[in-house]
Structure 1
């Protein structure tokens, strides 16, 4: 574990150099431990795949005090084991109509379109982080046979519910926005609803499986083409 200065009132804690369930579990457990230890002294914490940004109140502590305290609180973190979160199944309408990059991905991998769809559904993914936009859950890891880099030129508008692949990550766009991920389908499930409780169907640490549905089912579930 490495703790470095990120700003005048913030620290970045690094838990590893690779994406893995155990590193993700340590990040999430660290959030819990620091919340308990410091309470309102912390203004915010922003977890990522293998790091945690900690923002603290300069009027109540300083770097010389809080950095060694954080080390002490997190001293036993290496003993943390992976705890499986909830298993969430999300429906996806996979097709050339809903997934404009499906054929390109298939050609790139020397596979058929149905093979790409099957490989995407076959994995059980872990929610490693939520960011970019509320409800944008970064899921990993995609089968390496269908992993693909982001588009060289991002689209100006990606529709809400678009299911994409970038490198070995996959995600669902919670709202219409610009984006450069490879699009392979559409999900009718709302990924962020500020009026719902909880506001998102998945949380960091949860497991996700995708289930293919047909066009009619997609529309009946509220999907839009």
Structure 2
């Protein structure tokens, strides 16, 4: 988490109404800064209470642009802008079958579930057992009981429910794991942070009959 100044842990004191006001203000900020364009993603971000997916001692900072530590090895919940930053280029939409590699807090899966709706499906794979249980517990308490959660190596995807319309890899990798390419449908999109040397870029791919092509 180099470069981020994480606020000191504190006992949560904010009310539900205060969080709702902060959530609305954050969505307005995301629109103003061109992170957010889709109405479905906007409505999902307005609906899902991010504060319920953050450890209690950081709960009051839920809508600050800072990643916070989670149970598990090097696990974090990403900054609020990261979710539209991933989901907008994917074109995540109603009815999509979406694979998330890296469950984390469960917040991203909850937002995605609101976007794809009951006509779609969200599958999330998490390798770290502590992080998996934390994210799973958050989703259960929030009432998201129809998201498929898998405690396994995300680089292997989840073949049983493939192919997927959209795939998001939430942790940086040197290259896209071949099983994820195989499980993406023709015309589907995949987004991932990709590391080349000392540089990390967020890269969008689309799959065709010839394989995957880099779009950005």
Instruction: Return the TM-score normalized by structure 2.
Output: 0.29
Q: Relative to total residues, which structure has the larger strand share, 1 or 2? A: 1
Identify, as 1 or 2, the structure richer in helix: 2
